Amino acid sequence: MTEHQHHRFERGTDGPKVIVAGIDGSESSMRAAAYAAGLARRQNAVLTLVYVQPVMATGAAMGVPVADATGEVAEGLVNEIRSSAERLKDIWNVRWEFHTFRGDPYNGLVSAADELKADAVVVGASESAGHRFVGSVAVRLVKAGRWPVTVVP
């Protein structure tokens, strides 16, 4: 094998090595993260938890500190995840990372999965009635057809 071939990214050959789980603090996203953690443990993959910080142009235009508010959500999520990982460290050993991206949830997760070279994406089922009009993030990810997507209820 040449040096070039050895370092080339290859998706889907021996099971997932990087599993991206989208979290936003909702019940379904936390269940998705737990499911993804189990999958990462069994596959010896890296669990990459991604929070997409929404960009709220209206609030920002009115002087509302939107970045501070979404930053606090991200900080709260990472603290909750660290706490859970600490409680379970003697039972299960899961390698995990936490990343934040900015934008709408769909485009943020697509960017995250591309940048992190995801082999699989896990998301929670939508808890919003609004997805009927624009399509849920999960459905849009599945339709994109770029990664195996697991939707956790």
Q: What gap in Å lies between CA 46 and CA 59, rounded to an integer?
A: 35
pTM: 0.73
What are the angstrom distances between the C-alpha of 127 and each of 43, 51, 121, 131, 133? 29, 16, 18, 9, 14
Cα 15 to Cα 20: distance, rounded to the nearest angstrom: 14
* pLDDT tens column, 41-74: 999 999 999 988 887 654 444 444 445 556 677 6
Within 54-141, strands assigned E span 96-102, 120-124
What integer pLDDT is reported at residue 12 of this predicted model?
Answer: 53
